[in-house]
Amino acid sequence: MQVFVDCDPGIDDALALAYLASRPDVTFAGIGAVFGNNSVDVTTDNALRLLDLYGRSGVPVARGASRPLVQVPRLGDYVHGANGLGEVVTPEPSGEPVRESAAELLVRSARAAPGEIDVLALGPLTNLALALNLEPELPRLLRRVVVMGGAVRAPGNITPWAEANTYNDPEAAEVVLGAGFDMTLVALDVTMRTTAHEAWLDELGRLDNERARTTSSFLEFYVGHYSKVFGVRQCAMHDPLAAAVLLDPGLVTSSVEVPVRVELQGEYTRALTIADLRPTPAADDERPSVTLPTEVDRDVFLTRMLDALR
């Protein structure tokens, strides 16, 4: 299975890369970095460092968008630390980014292997929107796209309504969600209920290898933030759950097929993701539907995530 990961590492992005890297059946077609949890320079550098940590050095990493399509950028360093990885110092990366942009690398990879590449998008969707601009046939060139983003029936995590990846580039999200990809949207609806609890975090802390030790240190900062959100020591598993949904679709125990739009105008609701959830949706809606998981098997996911770091 060939996977192109578009990401903004990011502590939970790191967990997603660990999940993918642990699987011998996964070949990384490339990694695109995007601004989001930190500047694109930092997220690109972190992607290279994480490939070294998780044993996949040599995968092409491309620097992507440094800012959203329209609005001014905002960064998530209060969740992920000043260096995007919980202020943990990791070895200098062995590789360098390629010369192409993330959008160019994605388009070239998709054209070289039509229908074979899956995309896992874990940050703002800016690189994917730019790639669509370069290659409007992209939805037919890719096999499947799994996106971590949005909050349909759940509250937001940046505003009461908006999820961070969507909030960071709502115009890009609106374009990508309507482009006609075979798409699964792993939203806060499931990621906020798929939390790593205290016993899991302790078990990770006991694993005796460098990957697990470093990942456990990344998580300290992140868990510090989420413990304030939840009131107990635990954290949401956004990006690794999206990775798991891509590799192990059986983890999704319930889902709906719905068109999803992104609010671009609202004074209070900008970046809200809206789905037509009526039992009989409008028959004349030409917006393509996406798969929205509504229930996942949290315990099996947590076991697999831990196994990935064993």
* Interacting residue ranges for ligand BDR, rule: CB under 6 A: 10, 12-13, 37, 76, 79, 122-123, 148, 157, 163-165, 238-239
Contacts of 264 (CB under 8 A, 6+ apart): 170, 171, 174, 270, 271
Q: Which is nearer to Ca ion, 20 or 141 (CB)?
A: 20
Question: Which of ligand BDR, Ca ion, none does residue 135 bind to, with CB < 5 to 8 Å depending on kind?
Answer: none
Q: Which is nearer to ligand BDR, 163 or 174 (CB)?
A: 163
Tell me, yes or no, if 238 is annotated catalytic.
Answer: yes
Which residues within the stretch 225-284 sit at the binding site for Ca ion (CB under 5 A)? Answer: 239
Catalytic residue among 6, 80, 238, 239: 238
Tell me, yes or no, if 8 is annotated catalytic.
Answer: yes
- Measured at the CA of 149, the angle between CA 240 and CA 101, to 5 degrees, comes to 85
Residue type, 297: D
Q: Tokens for 256?
A: 């709906």
**Closest approach of Cβ 98 to ligand BDR, in Å?**
23
**Closest approach of Cβ 240 to Ca ion, in Å?**
10
Catalytic residue among 8, 45, 169, 189: 8
Q: Which is nearer to ligand BDR, 85 or 308 (CB)?
A: 85
**Closest approach of Cβ 137 to ligand BDR, in Å?**
27
Q: Tokens for 169?
A: 């580039």
Tell which residue, 131, 170, 122, 175, has the closest CA to residue 149.
122
Task: Determine if 13 is a binding residue for Ca ion (CB under 5 A).
Answer: yes
Task: Determine if 100 is a binding residue for Ca ion (CB under 5 A).
Answer: no
Q: Which is nearer to ligand BDR, 116 or 217 (CB)?
A: 217
Task: Determine if 293 is a binding residue for Ca ion (CB under 5 A).
Answer: no
Q: Tokens for 204?
A: 């990770």
Point out the residue whose Cβ comes nearest to Ca ion. 122
Q: Are 14 and 41 in contact (CB under 8 A)?
A: no
Return the active site residues.
8, 238
Q: Which residues of the shown chain bind Ca ion in the complex (CB under 5 A)?
A: 8, 10, 13, 122-123, 239
